[in-house]
Structure 1
Amino acid sequence: MGLKFDAFGIFVNDLKVMTEFYRDILGVEIQWDGNGPHAEFLHEGIRFMMYERKELPGYLGTEVSYPNGINGTFELAIDLPEFSDVDIEFKRVVDSGATPVLYPRTEPWGMRSSFILDPEGNLIEIGSWGKGKNK
């Protein structure tokens, strides 16, 4: 049997703002009481966590660094069923306060794709490999 990832985590500056964005704007469920440096969302398939950056050096026993501006080191990808869903979801989250980066477009490899930023500059792709025909 091969390696299987159990979880992914994001190290954040403001845990409250970030959990509110992912809960209220993206709609990811969470049962977090607002206390402590760690929050875990209710997410099927893989655990999704956030941890306060200020706690990490003490935990690891060494200094760490973080990107500034748009974080181009990873993306979180949302896969929707149909191409038209990308346009609808992109508009909804931008109208709700997400920062747009790449407006929906159909890529040469056959995917409908768009990108937004979370409050700390992490890239979130809203895309679909569906059968839609939006251009």
Structure 2
Amino acid sequence: MAGIGTCAPHYAYTVVYVKDVSKSLDFYSKAFGLTVRRLDHSRRWGELESGSTTIAFTPIEQHEMQITEKGEEHDRLYDHQRNKLELCFTYHDLDSAFKRAVEKGAALVAEPKEKEWGQKVGYVRDIEGHVVRLGSVVVEPKH
């Protein structure tokens, strides 16, 4: 977009609301391999290093699975129980990352599976019950 200049937005962060900030930072550091950037003196605000972040948009009917609280998978994605937020991390070695997440306390929801778009994807829940999607890095085909 021409003419935006200094008014161009920069995506700063996503806020995940949790019961215990310090405990959640520790969990994400151990389970997903993220580095804690800071935990303020009040212990009510913490940040993780996540590299460059992408905000992705997709039509609701594109969502490949509905995950219930019991870990059951359904094709119906517009169910009112669907989480409104899903954190997603990609790894070059998804299988090792997924294994580490579960070993460090993430609740298994769905084992990694190959998807039609060329990505292997698995799901866990964090210690607060948030869905976390772990996927392999997708390599775009060269034209």
**What TM-score comes out, normalization by structure 2 length?**
0.63
CA contact (8 A) 2:113 2:121 kept: yes
How do 1:25-40 residues align onto structure 2 when only pairs under 5 Å count? 25-30=31-36, 31-32=38-39, 35-40=42-47
Deviation per residue, 1:35-54 (Å, 9 max, x gap)? 331112233225xxxxxxxx
Deviation per residue, 1:33-83 (Å, 9 max, x gap)? 66331112233225xxxxxxxxxxxxxxxxxxxxxx5871111111123xx
CA contact (8 A) 1:72 1:123 kept: yes
Unpaired runs of at least 5, structure 1: 47-68
Say which structure is richer in strand: 1
2:52 maps to which residue?
45
Moved more, 16-25 or 118-127: 16-25
Unpaired runs of at least 5, structure 2: 2-7, 54-68, 70-80
Matched, 1:72 2:79: no
**What TM-score comes out, normalization by structure 1 length?**
0.66
Q: Which has the higher contact order (CA 8 A, sep 6+)?
A: 1
Count of residues paired in the alignment: 106
Runs of 4+ in 1 over 2 A off after TM superposition: 1-4, 31-36, 42-46
TM-aligned CA distance change 1:96 to 1:4, over 3 Å? same
